[in-house]
Amino acid sequence: MTDPQSVVIASCVYGVLLLTLGYFGRRAKQRNTLEDHFLAGRSIGLVVLLLTLFATQYSGNSLSGFPGKTYRAGLGYIMSVTFMVGVVSGYLLYAPALLARARKRRYLTPNDFLADRFGSPTLHYTAAAIFAFTLCNFLLAQLMAMGHAFAGLTDGRISYTAGVVGGAAVILGYELLGGMRAVAWTDAIQGSILISGLALVVVVVVTEIGTPTAILQTLAVQAPAKVASPSFQACLTWLSTCALLGLGGPLYPQAIQRLFAARRIGELRSALAIMALVPLFVITTVVFIGITGAMLFPDLDTVGSDQVTFRVLGHLADLQPWVGLPVLLVMMGVLAAIMSTADSALLSLASIFTKDVIARRLGLRGTEVDRLTRVVPAISLGAVLLLGWIALEPRFTLWRLLEIKFEVLIQLSPAFVLGTLPPPSHGRPYAARDVLRGLMVGLTLALGLYLTGHSTIFGLHAGVLGVIANYLTAMASRRLDRRPETV
C-alpha cells in the first residue's frame, strides 16, 4: 500500500491549497451581502457549476459505501445507476418553475420559496427544522468520516481526533474566507480529483487483474449468487429507492442553493444534462470495484466489505510498484469527496439559521438582512464546535439517524412540486393548509413505521409510503376544503 507518510504530506499540501482558494475567494467578493456569501453573487459558470454539483452529489460514500454494497448484493446493485440518475431527473419536477421564480424574487434559501409561495409561519419553521436536521446529520456524519479516513489512510499517523479537528478547521477556514465562491472552487478541485481517481482505478484494474467480462466469469464460478438476477422483492426495493432518492435528493438545501447560484439558466440546464449522464461512469465504476473485490476477497464480513475499495487498491499496489501514485490519488479523492460534502452542508446550515430563523424572528426584510453577515462566522463556528464535539465522543449511534434523514426530507417534496404547479383554470391553487396536512400525515406515517422497526413494507421504504400518503392528503385537502386560504 502507499506509504502513509505520503498521504500525510499530500493531506497537508491539500489543506493549504484549500485555504489559499478561500483567500482568493474572499478577494473576489463583490459585496458584503448574504447573497454574495451564500450564493457567490449568483455568478457561478458552467464548468465550476458542473463540478460543484458533482462533488456535492457524490460523497466519500461513492468510493467506499457503494462498492461495499455491491460486494454484499452482487452485480444486481448495478441498478444503483438509476438511483443517481433519478436524483437529477427529480429536479425536473419543480426546478424550472422554482428557478424562474428564484431569480425574479432573489431567493437565498429553499425556504424563501415556501415563505413566499404559501406565507405560512408554521410551514416555514417546520421546513427549516427538517432542513436543519438533515444538514446537521449530514455534517456530523462527514466529520466522523473525516476522522476515520485520515486515521485509516495514514495508518494512524493522523489520529481520528486530529482528523476531525484538522479537517473541520480547514473547511471552516476557507468557507468563512470565501463563502460559496471558495466552496465551489474547492469543490471543482475535489470533483476533478474524484473523477481522475475513479478513471485511474478502472485502467489499473483492467491492466493488472482483468476485464469486466473476465472478472464476472470468474465470479460466476466462485459465487454464482452474486451474478444472479435479483428477486422480485429486490426489484421492488429498487423502485422504492429510486423514488426515495429521486424525490428526496433534489431537496438537499445545498443542492438547491447551487441552482440558485448559477450565472445563467442556460448554463444550469447544460450542467444538469451532463449530470444525468455522470452516473453511467461513476456508479458503473464503483460497482466494478465492488465486483472485483468480491472476486479477490470472497470471505469478507460486513465491516470488511465496506473497506473493499482500499483492499483492492492495496492488492494492486502489491502487484505493481507504479500503482502507488494512482492509489494515492484515489485516497485523496476519498478525502476530497468527504470534505466537499461537509463544506456544502455547513454553508447551507449557516444560511438557514441566518436567513430562515434569525432574520425571520427579527422581522428583517430586503437589504436589512445583510446586517446579519457579521453573525455568519459565529453560526458556522458554533455548528462546527457542537457537531465536532459530538463527533469526537459520540454519545449515541448515528446509523439510524443516517438512514432516517431521507425518510424525513422526502416529505417536503409535495410542498415544492405542488407549490410550483401552475394555477388551475378552475378551483384554487394548493394552499398552505393542504401542504401542512399532507406533511403531518406523511411525517407521522414514515416516522411511525421507521421507529417501530418497519423501515420497509414489502420492499417499500417507510418514507416512500409516507410521501404517497402525503401527496394524497394534500390533493384531497385541496379538493374537499373549498374555504379561501387565510394566513
pLDDT at residue 1 in the model: 52
pLDDT digits (tens, 9 = 90+) for 268-326: 888 888 888 888 888 888 888 889 988 988 888 776 676 787 778 778 777 777 777 77
pTM check: above 0.75: yes
Q: Which long-range contacts (CB under 8 A, 24 or more apart) does 353-362 make?
A: 353/132, 353/379, 353/383, 354/34, 354/379, 355/34, 355/38, 355/108, 355/109, 355/111, 355/112, 356/109, 356/111, 356/112, 356/115, 356/124, 356/128, 356/131, 357/125, 357/128, 360/115, 360/124
**Long-range pairs, 212-220, Cβ under 8 A, ≥24:** 212/288, 212/291, 215/288, 215/291, 215/292, 215/295, 216/75, 216/291, 218/295, 219/75, 219/291, 219/294, 219/295
What pLDDT does 192 receive? 82
Extract long-range pairs of 424-433: CB within 8 Å, 24+ residues apart.
427/478, 428/478, 428/482, 428/484, 428/485, 430/474, 430/478, 431/118, 431/478, 431/485, 432/118, 432/119, 432/120, 432/122, 432/123, 432/485, 432/487, 433/120, 433/477, 433/481, 433/485
- 400 CB-contact burial (10 Å; exposed 0-12 / middle 13-18 / buried 19+): exposed
C-alpha span between 426 and 431 (Å, rounded): 15
Question: Which stretches in the chain have pLDDT values below 50?
Answer: 397-399, 487
Look at the chain and report how many structural domains it folds into.
Answer: 1
Which pLDDT value is given to residue 395? 57
Cβ atoms 145, 63 nearer than 8 A: no
- The amino acid occupying position 378 is A
Query: What contacts 335, CB < 8 A, 6 or more positions away?
Result: 11, 14, 60, 146, 149, 150, 153, 167
Q: What are the tens digits of pLDDT across the range 385-422?
A: 988 888 887 655 444 555 678 889 999 999 999 999 88
Residue 426: inside a domain: no
Q: Which residues pair with 300 in a beta bridge?
A: none
Q: 341 in a domain, yes or no?
A: yes
In a domain, 323, yes or no: yes
pLDDT in the model for residue 200: 81
CATH number at residue 252: 1.20.1730.10
Asked if residue 466 belongs to a domain, the reply is no
Asked if residue 245 belongs to a domain, the reply is yes
Domain carrying residue 327: 4-400
**Please, what's the largest Cα pairwise distance for the chain?**
74
In a domain, 95, yes or no: yes
- What confidence score (pLDDT) does residue 400 get? 53
Q: Is residue 437 part of a domain?
A: no
State phi, psi for 229 to the nearest 5 degrees: -65, 140
| Residue 162 domain flag | yes
